[in-house]
Amino acid sequence: MSLLVVDNLSVFYGAIEALRGVSLHVEQGEVVTLIGANGAGKSTTLRTISGLLPPKTGTIRFDGQTIHNWQPHRIVKSGLVQAPEGRKIFANLTVDENLQLGAFLRTDRTAIRADRDRALELFPRVRERLNQQAGTLSGGEQQMLAIARALVARPKLLMLDEPSLGLAPQLVRTIFQVIREINLAGTTILLVEQNANMALQVAHRAYVIEVGRIRMEGPAAELAASDEVRKAYLGAH
């Protein structure tokens, strides 16, 4: 039984068909990556799974339940959590308040504290800035905060939308290292990336999306070795 099953998903922005029958699945314990160019429909896929966009057709099942007509907060509560593209941290709140919001639906205080400590262990730099306004953090720190905030929700499946966007190469390596650690600690991950090179290194399986359609899928190592992917996404000639 797959943890997440997306079947034949179509999504429209007005008259424009952004997703044209996307199907994918994520198994318990996996890191799955969805790679593709700008505008291919990666973020749209995640936003639809999170309930921010209504699908026109298709179904989304998570953890045995059909969720595609649920409100976003209910989806979060079921354990499907997204750290969105562009970090979307609350710049007007402190770093600590941002983390509290990650645990908004939880009431188990001691467990929240433990999860918060664990998330901060992954990102010591966030811990140093707990009482700062989140808007004063650097881009890299904001990304770390966004991931830490999502972790405090204790996700069964963590969806990361372009966590490496706009970060220095050194930081990109750190972020991917942390993604691997989160996965090893037992969290399933669906990773959307433009940085196909790094994404394919960390993922078990991968999907390639082009203009709203899944073009290829398979084990990450296999896709990384295929000529088509190497030419289109890994910069090989």
Partner 1 sequence: MADFAQTLMTALAVGSLYALIALGYTMVYGILKFINFAHSDIVVLGAWLSFTMAQRLLPMLGLDPHNPATTPPLWVGEVILLASMAFCSLIGFAIERLAYKPLRKAPRLNVLITAIGVSLLLQNVGQLNFVFGPSPQKMPALLPTWELLRVSLPSANGNRDVVVGLVDVVIIVTSAVLMIALEYLVFRTKTGTAMRAVSFDIDASALMGIPVDRVVSFTFVLGSALAAAAGFLYALKYPGLNQPAHATWVLLGLKAFVAAVIGGIGNVRGAVLGGFVIAFVEQFGAFYLSSNYRDVYVFALLIAILLVRPSGLLGSTVREKV
Q: Which residues contact 124 (CB under 8 A, 6 or more apart)?
A: none
Min CB(135)–partner 1 separation in Å: 5
Q: Is 2 in the site for partner 1 (CB under 8 A)?
A: no
| 97: contact with partner 1 by CB under 8 A | yes
Tokens of 126: 């966030």
Q: Which of 28, 66, 91, 185 binds partner 1 (CB under 8 A)?
A: 91
- How many whole angstroms separate alpha carbon 41 and alpha carbon 34? 10
Specify the residue, 64 or 166, whose C-beta has the smaller distance to partner 1.
166
Give the whole-angstrom CA distance, residue 143 versus residue 101. Answer: 16
Residue 169: HSE in the Cβ half-sphere, 13 Å Cα cutoff = 1
The tokens for 121 are 């262990």
Measured in whole angstroms, the distance separating CA 161 from the mean position of its chain's CA atoms is 4
Q: With binding defined as CB under 8 A, does residue 28 bind partner 1?
A: no
Please say which residue, 21 or 139, places its beta carbon nearer to partner 1: 139
User: Does residue number 132 form part of the binding site for partner 1 (CB under 8 A)?
Assistant: no
Q: How far apart are CA 35 and CA 55, in angstroms?
A: 21
For the bound state, the minimum distance from the C-beta of residue 222 to partner 1, rounded and expressed in Å, comes to: 32
The partner residues of 219 in beta bridges, in order of sequence, read: 205
Which of the ranges 23-31, 71-79, 114-122, 181-189 carries the binding residues for partner 1, by CB under 8 A? 71-79
- Under the binding rule (CB under 8 A), the answer on residue 73 touching partner 1 is yes
Residue with Cβ nearer partner 1 (56 or 73): 73
3-state class (DSSP) for residue 88: coil
Comparison of 1 and 15: residue with beta carbon closer to partner 1: 15
What character string, x for contact with partner 1 (CB under 8 A) and - otherwise, covers 170-209?
A: ----------------------------------------
Residue 26 CA, chain-centre distance (Å), reads: 12
Which residue's entry shows tokens 């179509």? 10
Contact 156, 4 (CB under 8 A): no
Binding site for partner 1 (CB under 8 A): 50-52, 71-73, 76-77, 81-82, 84, 86, 88-93, 97, 100-102, 104-105, 135, 137-139, 142, 149, 153, 166
